[in-house]
A and B are shown apart, each in its own frame.
Chain A
């Protein structure tokens, strides 16, 4: 039977969903995470693959934005050099609250194999990170899973409360 032919009044009435406003807001937030496309090195290729057709980030409501001002999640994918560190912080600062960070790949987590003078040994030295995603390079499924964990984390948060400073300063 086609949907429009269902007579709700005749059966048990309209379907009703009960939830709290908090949950509804966070559920909405978690399902429309716009990510600032922040690819720095090889991991960015995997991030692109995750955004593309086969893995399809759009079905999570995650759309890559070129502008930090419309984004709420920053996926740092790749090697962060000392020269670039200042700009990463600036982009993070220009994102509106609330915001989250996924650190993608060994390089972003710990500097990876680049234990040298020019590489920042982990983005968490300059910005607070929510999810660390291991691998070199992580497969697109791993990024998907990281996003799903982030979604879950967001759904547990309370939107009205002022967010505590996460790390660093």
Chain B
């Protein structure tokens, strides 16, 4: 039996700033811009932070205020919710930053509402305000594991229902964890066939020179497990002697056309 490889990568966090971290973009006070009225529409709410960045207003609010804030902004003129998604800050701050991307056709501008959801906390569903939140929230749940309260059908949308783990978290390995590695084998054949079928070959350029079974030997084909014939077949498509009723093309009797007919 093959030695069991137990490497539970799902618990390990890989987050670190490995890449180039760009300089912070310029942030402008909202009250100096055209977004002044937009922010004022959120009058009595607690706003943690707000600024204008790349011609978009960004407002940080409390997690429990998301319904109220979006309703006020919708009434102000942000008719469309284009996107909901999250950013994984589990390693740094112990939660996920959820953002709502809004578009106003009436005022011709965009705004972003952000809130911070700690791990294990619930977020209110905004499907009552925006229909488009329905799928976006399911995706948020599927990919980040943010639990949404009040959603009518909170289940996986992109991954299979019995998938383990949340793929867009920074702690999730790109090539999948131990569960992902065996998913289709476990599901279709059962765990007992793991040894027979084997691990996924993640290196698509890998050539096992000792493997004489699984490569298609053109013109040397044999059944699985059978010995390949010593002599190669004739390297031509048509069989020697031809197929019954089909004439064999003779290689030496061709004719080159001077021009297209």
Query: Within 8 Å CB of A164, what residues of B?
Result: 223-225
Q: Mark B152-192, 1 if CB is under 8 A from A, else 0.
A: 00000011100000010000111111001001110111000
Interface contact B188-A89, CB-CB below 8 Å:
yes
Neighbour of A82 across the interface among B160, B196, B216, B225, CB < 8 A: B160
Query: Within 8 Å CB of A116, what residues of B?
Result: 174-176
Complex Cα–Cα for A100 and B183 (A): 25
Neighbour of A166 across the interface among B188, B189, B224, CB < 8 A: B224
* Residue A125 CB within 8 A of the other chain: yes
Which of B55-63, B80-88, B106-114, B198-206 lines the interface with chain A?
A: B198-206
Interface contact A23-B167, CB-CB below 8 Å:
no
Interface contact A110-B204, CB-CB below 8 Å:
yes
For B245, give the chain A residue with the smallest CB separation: A17
Complex Cα–Cα for A125 and B197 (A): 7
Residues in A65-93 with C-beta less than 8 Å from chain B: 82-83, 85-86, 89
Q: Mark B237-259, 1 if CB is under 8 A from A, else 0.
A: 10100011100000000000000
Query: Within 8 Å CB of B225, what residues of A?
Result: 164
Complex Cα–Cα for A164 and B244 (A): 27
Query: Within 8 Å CB of B180, what residues of A?
Result: 82, 117-118
Complex Cα–Cα for A115 and B237 (A): 35
* Residue A106 CB within 8 A of the other chain: yes
Interface contact B184-A125, CB-CB below 8 Å:
yes
> Which of A19, A85, A109 has the most C-beta atoms of chain B within 10 angstroms of its own C-beta?
A85
Question: For chain A, which range describes its interface: under 10, 10 to 19, 20 to 34, or 35 or more residues?
Answer: 35 or more
Contacts A27-B244, A89-B188, A132-B216 given; indicate if A117 touches B197 (C-beta within 8 A): no
How distant is A58 from chain B, measured CB to nearest CB, in Å?
Answer: 17
**Chain B interface, DSSP helix/strand/loop, else mixed:** loop
How distant is B206 from chain A, measured CB to nearest CB, in Å?
Answer: 9
* Residue A168 CB within 8 A of the other chain: yes
Interface contact A167-B224, CB-CB below 8 Å:
yes
How distant is A88 from chain B, measured CB to nearest CB, in Å?
Answer: 9
* Residue B218 CB within 8 A of the other chain: yes
How distant is B192 from chain A, measured CB to nearest CB, in Å?
Answer: 10
Query: Within 8 Å CB of A56, what residues of B?
Result: none
Interface contact A27-B243, CB-CB below 8 Å:
yes
Complex Cα–Cα for A43 and B175 (A): 23
Residues of B within 8 A of A (CB): 158-160, 167, 172-177, 180, 183-185, 187-189, 193, 196-197, 200-202, 204, 214, 216, 218, 221, 223-225, 237, 239, 243-245
For this complex, 22 residue pairs linking A to B, each with C-beta atoms less than 8 Å apart, are A23-B244, A27-B243, A82-B159, A83-B158, A85-B184, A86-B184, A111-B200, A117-B167, A117-B172, A118-B167, A121-B201, A121-B204, A126-B185, A128-B224, A152-B239, A155-B239, A164-B223, A166-B223, A168-B193, A168-B196, A169-B189, A169-B193
